[in-house]
Amino acid sequence: MTIEFDNNLPIYLQIMNYIKLQIVTGKLGPGEKIPSVRELASELKINPNTIQRTFQELEREGVAESRRGLGRFVTSEDEKIMSIKKEMAAELLERFIGGMRELGFDNDNIVKIVAESVNDGKREPGGSRSGTTA
């Protein structure tokens, strides 16, 4: 696991976001064991107390669950995982829209550019569109 830490955001939040990303992308599956505090602290070369705080927050949010004597595991609740995915998508979208507005685009132009990009993304190699029959 490698994380490039940003000095403007607390480390525990960055680790939380990284673990959430691992979950929503399927790299950490529902019910899968999360590395221990010691393992993660050693791997990331940070204080174990920071990892402990990360895990406490993940448990408080319902993203992880502790099983006595076994460790911490990713939640098995599909609804929670979908909620995390939507939350992360909303943050990405908010940053994107903010960046587009900084470039001088209004809402109509942003929507048009996104629609064009989505439509271009539907094209398969060779120029045909996916989902169409010839």
Predicted pLDDT of residue 4:
84
Q: pLDDT at residue 134 above 50? A: no
* pLDDT tens digits along 81-101: 999 999 999 999 999 999 999
Q: pLDDT at residue 126 above 80? A: no
In the numeric block, the tokens 């099983």 are attached to: 67
Strand residues in the chain grouped as ranges (E): 33-34, 64-67, 71-74
Of residues 13 and 124, more confidently modeled: 13
- The structure's pTM equals 0.76
Give the strands of the sheet with 71-74, arranged side by side: 33-34, 71-74, 64-67
* pLDDT tens digits along 70-84: 999 999 999 999 999
Predicted pLDDT of residue 133:
46
Q: Which CATH number fits domain 11-76: 1.10.10.10, 2.40.128.20, 4.10.320.10, 3.40.1030.10?
A: 1.10.10.10
Closest CA to 74 of 59, 84, 64: 64
Domain boundaries, the chain: 11-76, 80-121
Average pLDDT over residues 43-62: 96
Q: Compute φ and ψ for 35, nearest 5 degrees.
A: -55, 150
CA angle 116, 117, 123 (to 5 degrees): 95
If you ran DSSP here, which 8-state letter would residue 27 be given? S
| Amino acid identity, position 130 | S
Q: pLDDT at residue 112 above 60? A: yes
Average pLDDT over residues 106-119: 93
Average pLDDT, the chain: 89
Of residues 58 and 119, more confidently modeled: 58
- Report the C-alpha gap between 32 and 128 in whole angstroms: 40
Reading the block at residue 126, the tokens are 């060779």
Q: Compute φ and ψ for 72, nearest 5 degrees.
A: -110, 145
- Say what percent of the chain tops pLDDT 70: 90
